[in-house]
Amino acid sequence: MDLRRSSQDRRGAKLVFGRRRSPCTLSLIALLPLFAGCEFHRPPPGGTNGADHLLAQAGQQIEDMLVASAGAWNAGDLDGYLDDYWPSEELTFSGPEGVIRGWAGLRERYLNGYWAPGVERDSLRFEAIEVFMLGSEHALTLGRYVLSQPGEDSAAASHGFFSLVLRQVDGEWKIIHDHTSAAPEEEAP
């Protein structure tokens, strides 16, 4: 007995439904437990119910955290800048050097780069910050960073984009994964 049934999609292509599953479909089904309990939310503008207020509040907390983080960077406070990262060996950072694991590894990256002796550190700011709630204790944050040369004209030295996965840890938002990529040089900020 053939349990498959067919229909047509909106373009007229024939779709077949039944017991057969492609390897791709099986892979997606296998990943579903990873997303169990995750709810993808973005607070609508002008939301008025309690849940929307809490989501907007979390988004504002994360944005404020990033503004303070840039302030610590600009003050030359590496540990203050890194305070937003989860102090764990499970922290991950993906960048041009590949994946760096652990808070200590991330700190070492900055000490050997931007904080190396004799390196003039550019001023940091974040722009176009977007926060997407992934349930009540996790968030995805997208944005753009701009490093500007010190001085009156504040010419952009470099810029790029980031995506952060954050988690509530002891009542505070902490970055558990950071993926940062520099934009091509010819692209103006």
Contacts of residue 86, defined as CB under 8 A and 6 or more positions apart, other chains included, come to: 103, 167, 169, 174, 175, 176
Tell me the pLDDT tens digit for each residue of 121-168.
Answer: 788 999 999 999 998 899 999 999 999 876 655 566 788 999 999 999
Instruction: Enter the pTM of the model.
Output: 0.68
Q: Under CATH, what is the fold of the domain 40-182?
A: Nuclear Transport Factor 2; Chain: A, (3.10.450)
Tell me the pLDDT tens digit for each residue of 85-129.
Answer: 999 999 999 998 899 999 999 999 999 888 788 778 788 999 999
pLDDT score, position 80? 94
Q: Outline which parts of the chain fall under CATH 3.10.450.50.
A: 40-182
